[in-house]
């Protein structure tokens, strides 16, 4: 589904991001994954190459909060491959802190990681995609961008901002042939969720109409669809993948 495509995936070393990278590789893409540190990038690459030595995947670890660092990393991808077809903005941080424990600096840091960092990647990639006549930008939103959560207000606030960014960029970049969509996962079996005790997991499952938590591959499949030509007329969408828990 992605044969010949060049993709950049931020937050691609574990969890949903790693599953997206793997799914794209399985479908013929060449992928550059971004991680936070050299060691996590190297570990992810080793794992992927162990699964299939023929996959063309490489990694980098720019500081996503630093626009210049991200721009330089994007330029390296452009120099190597001559194009960038897909950008997946998956890197981010969750939060569950109560409001009385917040500081303005703490709130600002989450917004910087979950919103500003996306724009730091979008801006240089848009230049590349406009030059080549089109592309696809995908953002990771969240179920809580729609329904909120009982603590950790910065996280749903930032993901609501991701939705607004997605809708607006879709309208602005559509005439350039650039599609912009987001995937809004629900509770997904990442390392953090898998570590929860059964007494905490079961009530969560009971609240999900499909009666199970999502698997990273469920989320990756949604990204694959939106990145592929099957979604060539889909833009400005926030695709919920949450078993209908949001309702």
Cα distance between residue 59 and residue 41, in whole Å: 6
Between 117-132 and 154-173, two packed helices, what is the crossing angle to 10 degrees? Answer: 20
Tell me the HSE value of 68 on the side-chain side, using a 13 A CA sphere.
0
Cα distance between residue 208 and residue 243, in whole Å: 6
Catalytic one of 18, 61, 155, 233: 155
Contact, 5 vs 22, CB < 8 A? no
Whether 155 sits among the annotated catalytic residues: the reply is: yes
Q: Rounded to 5 degrees, what angle do the CA atoms 185, 188, 191 make?
A: 135
123 by DSSP, 3-state: which? helix
Cα distance between residue 208 and residue 203, in whole Å: 9
Tell me the HSE value of 222 on the side-chain side, using a 13 A CA sphere.
24
Tracing tokens 């599609």 back to the chain, one arrives at 179
Q: DSSP 3-state helix, strand, coil percentages of the chain (rounded to 5)?
A: 50, 15, 35
Write out the catalytic residue numbers: 155
């Amino acid at each position: 589904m992605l044969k010949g495509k060049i993709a950049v995936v931020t937050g691609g070393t574990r969890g949903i991001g790693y599953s997206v990278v793997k799914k794209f590789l399985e479908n013929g893409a060449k992928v550059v994954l971004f991680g936070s540190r050299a060691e996590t990038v190297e570990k992810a690459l080793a794992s992927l190459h162990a699964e299939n030595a023929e996959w063309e995947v490489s990694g980098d670890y720019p500081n996503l909060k630093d626009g210049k660092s991200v721009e330089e990393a994007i330029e390296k991808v452009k120099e190597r491959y001559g194009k960038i077809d897909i950008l997946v903005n998956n890197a981010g941080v969750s939060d569950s802190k109560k409001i009385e424990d917040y500081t303005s600096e703490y709130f600002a840091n989450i917004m910087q990681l979950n919103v500003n960092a996306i724009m730091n990647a979008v801006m240089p990639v848009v230049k590349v995609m406009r030059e080549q006549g089109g592309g696809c930008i995908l953002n990771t939103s969240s179920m809580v961008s729609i329904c909120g959560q009982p603590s950790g207000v910065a996280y749903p606030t930032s993901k609501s901002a991701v939705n607004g960014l997605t809708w607006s960029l879709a309208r602005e970049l559509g005439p350039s042939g650039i599609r912009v969509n987001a995937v809004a996962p629900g509770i997904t079996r990442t390392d953090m969720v898998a570590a929860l005790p059964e007494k905490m997991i079961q009530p969560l499952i009971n609240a999900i109409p499909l009666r199970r938590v999502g698997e990273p591959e469920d989320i990756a499949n949604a990204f694959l669809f939106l990145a592929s030509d099957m979604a060539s007329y889909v833009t400005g969408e926030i695709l919920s993948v949450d078993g209908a828990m949001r309702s």
